[in-house]
Amino acid sequence: MIPLRDENPVSSTPVVTWLLIASCVLVFVWQISQGAPHFNRAIFSLGVIPAVLFGHAQLPPEIAMVPPAATVVTSMFLHGGWLHLAGNMLYLWIFGDNIEDRMGRFRFLAFYLVCGAAAVFAQALPAPEARVPMVGASGAISGVLGAYLLLFPRARVLVLVPFGFILKVIRLPAVWVLGLWFGIQLVSSLLAPAGEGGVAFRAHLGGFIAGLVLARLFLPRRQWR
């Protein structure tokens, strides 16, 4: 099931959402412009490596570009490939504008970064000595999805659904779309070995739960209800 767009209008231009998407795309263009060896170097230098973040290991000085704590933020703008980037940006494009519209630009940016940080620690704390770098905006975007579920559960989302060899576009309530997404992440997290490479399912869960819990705190006070 692939979301295509939502039927949930906004009253303001989603400047921060656009800038986040543009930043991730530009950073990825920079990554691939470095060539294969330097592409991987960027991931190790700017991605989150739990063992380095928690002081169990150190990067060689020649590739340590920023302090370990800073990688909690820099990792959110790196991606491991085109599909990784495209999938994340699609979800941010569809769901980010409404959350930015409700929170306001600066609150939304702070919310996005806080959820991204929560996602990092949700993934890293169970395996603090892991040496596999974590990169991607999916943890922060998961927070956006959690906020969307809380604030717009009845909004309609157009999704592409395969029925055998036939693809159909159907409208579903956001609570179904995002509830199913969360369920898939939960099951996948339970089945994934700790500390190994692959999709960071625990980061998705951590970001999503952070979004659910924190969303109302980032709304302007006049919108609390």
Which CATH number do you get for residue 35? 1.20.1540.10
- CA neighbours within 13 Å on the CB side: how many for 28? 22
**pLDDT recorded at residue 155:** 96
Could you tell me the residue range of the domain that residue 193 belongs to? 2-223
C-alpha–C-alpha distance, residues 120 and 52, integer Å: 13
Q: For the sheet containing 166-173, what is the strand order?
A: 2-7, 156-163, 166-173
Tokens for 83, please give them: 């599909």
**pLDDT recorded at residue 194:** 54
Alpha helices per DSSP H over the chain: 15-33, 36-46, 50-53, 71-74, 82-103, 105-124, 138-151, 174-191, 201-214
Q: What 3-state class would DSSP assign to 215?
A: helix
How confident is the model over 110-130, as pLDDT tens digits?
Answer: 999 999 999 999 999 998 999
Sign for the pseudo-dihedral over CA of 163, 167, 168, 169: positive
Contact 211, 146 (CB under 8 A): yes
User: Beta-carbon neighbour count of residue 217 at 10 Å?
Assistant: 11
DSSP state of 193: P
- Determine the length of the chain: 225
pTM: 0.92
Residue type, 125: L
**pLDDT recorded at residue 175:** 95
Q: CB-based contacts of 91: which residues, under 8 Å, 6+ apart?
A: 3, 138, 141, 144, 145
**pLDDT recorded at residue 58:** 92
Contact 207, 189 (CB under 8 A): no
Sign for the pseudo-dihedral over CA of 98, 104, 108, 111: negative
Residue with tokens 């340590």: 64
**pLDDT recorded at residue 222:** 64
**pLDDT recorded at residue 196:** 54
C-alpha–C-alpha distance, residues 63 and 133, integer Å: 13
Residue 86 phi, psi dihedral angles, 5° rounding: -60, -45
Low-confidence stretches of the chain (pLDDT < 50) are none
Count: domains in the chain: 1
CA–centroid distance for 56 within its chain: 26
